[in-house]
């Protein structure tokens, strides 16, 4: 299943309309490795495809943007319903290759996710972001995200 998205990227002075694809095959998933590894350096490449396939069984959806046969940006998401906010689209992962940052790919993916969330009758789109990821935070503020909680984690 492929989705054409109506948002333009300016690349080398040329307006392009990126195509967002859903990673289904092992090859699709493997193509997302480099962008995901920038965000999740603890991952092991040899385990990546199987880990994503296991997460897909739990409702995780991985989408990506190709440019010249290179996966330049990825987003991974799922749906939750929680008492405090109702149904949400939760963004697990959002990453763009370093050479392709500041060109609008993350915004294209976010706009795509907003539309998916509306189609699925979600009340919100939510994500967590590491406190040191200030460049990502600038994007989230521009996209009207707000900080409404601390996320606590206890390792077991």
Encode pLDDT of 112-134 as tens digits.
Answer: 999 999 999 999 999 988 888 87
Q: How far apart are CA 108 and CA 113, in angstroms?
A: 9
For residues 77 and 6, which has the higher predicted lDDT (pLDDT)?
77
39-94 pLDDT, tens digit per residue, is 999 999 999 999 999 999 999 999 999 998 999 999 999 999 999 999 999 999 99
Instruction: Check: CB of residue 35 under 8 Å from CB of residue 96.
Output: yes
pLDDT of residue 6: 46
Q: Of 110, 49, 125, nearest to 74 (Cα)?
A: 110
Helical spans, DSSP H, in the chain: 26-31, 33-39, 45-57, 105-119, 134-142
Question: pTM for the full model?
Answer: 0.87
Q: Of 87, 93, 90, 80, nearest to 29 (Cα)?
A: 93
């Amino acid at each position: 299943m492929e989705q054409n998205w109506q948002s333009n990227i300016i690349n080398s002075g040329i307006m392009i309309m990126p195509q967002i694809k859903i990673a289904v095959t092992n090859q699709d998933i493997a193509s997302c490795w480099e962008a995901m590894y920038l965000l999740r350096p603890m991952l092991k490449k040899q385990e990546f495809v199987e880990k994503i396939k296991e997460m897909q069984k739990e409702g995780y959806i991985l989408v990506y943007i190709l440019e010249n046969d290179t996966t330049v940006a990825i987003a991974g998401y799922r749906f939750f319903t929680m008492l405090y906010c109702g149904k949400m689209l939760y963004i697990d992962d959002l990453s763009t290759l370093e050479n392709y940052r500041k060109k609008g790919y993350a915004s294209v993916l976010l706009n795509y996710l907003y539309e998916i969330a509306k189609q699925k009758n979600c009340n919100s789109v939510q994500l967590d972001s590491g406190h040191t990821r200030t460049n990502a935070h600038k994007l989230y503020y521009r996209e009207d995200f707000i900080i409404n909680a601390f996320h606590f984690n206890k390792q077991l």
